[in-house]
Chain A
Amino acid sequence: MPTLTIDPVTRIEGHSRITIQLGADGEVQDAHFHVTQLRGFEKFCEGRPFEEMPALMARICGICPVSHLITSAKACDAIMAVTIPETAEKLRRVMNLAQIVQSHALSVFHLSSPDFLLGMDADPARRNLVGLAAEHPNIVRDGIRLRQFGQQIIQWLGGKRVHPGWIVPGGVSEPLTVERRDQILATVPEAIATTLRSLQWFKPRIEKFRAEIRTFANFPTLFLGLAKEDGGLALYKGWIRVIDSTGETVADHIQPQAYEEFIGEAVEPFSYLKSTYYKPLGYPDGIYRVGPLARLNLAKRCGTPLADAELAEFRELERHTVLSSFFYHYARLIEMLFAIERIEFLLSDASILSKHVRAHARPNNPEGVGVAEAPRGTLFHHYKVNEEGLITHANLIIATGHNSLAMNRGVLQAARHFVRGEKIEEGALNRVEAVIRAFDPCLSCSTHADGRMALHVELRSAEGHLLDEVWSR
């Protein structure tokens, strides 16, 4: 049975490959997304004091360290059994929102906009950011400005653009000064204008991608994410809600601490990336999606005026929930707009300057679970500690793991539509990769676990016959 391999998958965060298996009739029979890198964070943090976890866990990723910082700090808050000061929570929210802006800008502009603006079939030598700069320099500059907007806020608050250490168990380490607040607020109008301008070039182009919309992981799944009472977009705090593809609520008001009751983790032999599933439906029927598309499907409204207007237009794409993963990109742009508006709202509240930004306590609970919405989706950190507060167990569930089943099924769907014969044409190759790119997976984050992958080694003859195979568990 011939196998087509795409290695490496380009313009994503990390290293992976895709294999496509053809049947005897030459039609695509199966496809897999393989994540081939291995980290080990859950294991090597054992024995460390829990207070160190936010700084340690932030090192998982150079793109979204703030998400790990926040979620880890929330797990530590739970271990300390403290309610952090209101201002500390608002400040954490501001940094989380800045993180959403800079990460989404990276995905939309740097990684995927060459496909939107130069075309899926464009020459790969120029279908990249630099090629884009030659034809659409204004758009590239806008992407750079939005990245800078988010990164600058992170640096102003946390001292560094990457791996800031300001978010700590119990709150944040330093209050916000008037000067810093005013600096950030001064950058908001340009960021809003830039994002609105970006939506204006993106939306008219949607029509050109009908085939991609139809085949880029466009199928019914559940959607999972944080939710809150008023139906607004929840990114920092809330409970877990699960809806089906018609928008009906499947489960609601699930406390994050109970995540193990409804999320299962499966290990596949072809990838270091664990695949999660909704336990009541089992594996693999419990397929669900998280991230920007899921969040907009879950929310009744964003909660800011400009983003709500865009969300209303987004809702007109489909009758119930928006199912095509191509629209993750569109959802990212709307979330960026929301994040910028929300930053302005939070910083305009006088209480943001309060000096009470940290609660102090010893460990009072033997375990803690933190959850927040990272740019790519719902992020869980679960720690257990001994009486000295040293970590005895850590479990992380990352957005890319939540989306693993959908990504694999999406690759198969796109391959069946675009791949013909035993050779992958350039346009088909790019489209199969673009399915993965739509999810914006972060493979550094998703392979944080220790080596529990059941490695399957095959020995094949030159003719492709299987001679031997070894399973290492």
Chain B
Amino acid sequence: MLVIGYGNRLRGDDGVGIEAAERVAELYRDEPQVRVLVVQQLVPELASDMAEADFVLLLDAEAGDVAGMMTRKAISAEPFRGSFTHQFTPAALLGAAAALYGRAPAAVCLTMSAREFDLGEELSATIRDRLGEFTGAAQEIVAGWLEQGKKVVGCQALDGNKNKSRLF
């Protein structure tokens, strides 16, 4: 499986996905089935990495009115629209994986809502306090996939509605 933590560590809470991914990498450093990537944004090259995985977990920050809320959303491949090709959405990246490599793995995006995106390397107090829980949720998904395969954590929508998010 592939874990991708992304965001800008220099913009406060935007780095929470990266922080969590690094913790996951440390937890599973001896597990060959888990590959962790830390990136600033979702660039097209990641389609190749995604296509090689059976399952992808994306960890990201999400701007929201209330900080510290976790959301887990199943992602389905969709075609990319527009001309800007530096930064893809998770769904468009899956679409690129399908178009270029013939396969789009099951994928889940785990996000934490945040409000502090000013310049700075520090996470806000709220996000820092929730980082352990965020990492734990990521770890739970990784462990579930390792133990039982994609039946449990695959591209199945939570709450029975495809692509509908829910709060933990």
Contacts and interface: CB of A to CB of B under 8 A. Distances in A.
B148 interface: no
Interface stretch (A136-144, A324-332, A370-378, A410-418): A136-144
A130 B80 contact: yes
Nearest to A140: B100
B126 interface: no
Interface string B135-165: 0000000000000000000000000000000
B84 A10 contact: yes
Contacts of A110: 44, 85-86
A158 to B, nearest CB: 14
Interface string B73-94: 0000001111111100000100
Size range of the interface on B? 20 to 34
A192 B29 CA distance: 33
Question: Secondary structure at chain B's binding surface: helix, strand, loop or mixed?
Answer: loop
A160 B37 CA distance: 10
Nearest to B83: A128
A111 B85 CA distance: 8
Interface in B59-111: 79-86, 92, 95-96, 99-101
B83 A162 contact: no
Contacts of B86: 110
A129 B39 contact: no
Contact of B85 (A59, A129, A145, A160): A129
A411 to B, nearest CB: 19
26 contacts: A10-B83, A11-B83, A11-B84, A59-B10, A124-B83, A125-B81, A128-B83, A129-B44, A130-B79, A130-B81, A130-B99, A133-B96, A133-B99, A133-B100, A134-B99, A137-B99, A140-B100, A141-B48, A141-B100, A144-B44, A144-B45, A144-B47, A144-B100, A148-B45, A151-B45, A162-B40
Question: 5 nearest interchain CB pairs?
Answer: A130-B80, A129-B85, A128-B83, A133-B99, A144-B45
Interface of B: 10, 38-40, 44-45, 47-48, 79-86, 92, 95-96, 99-101
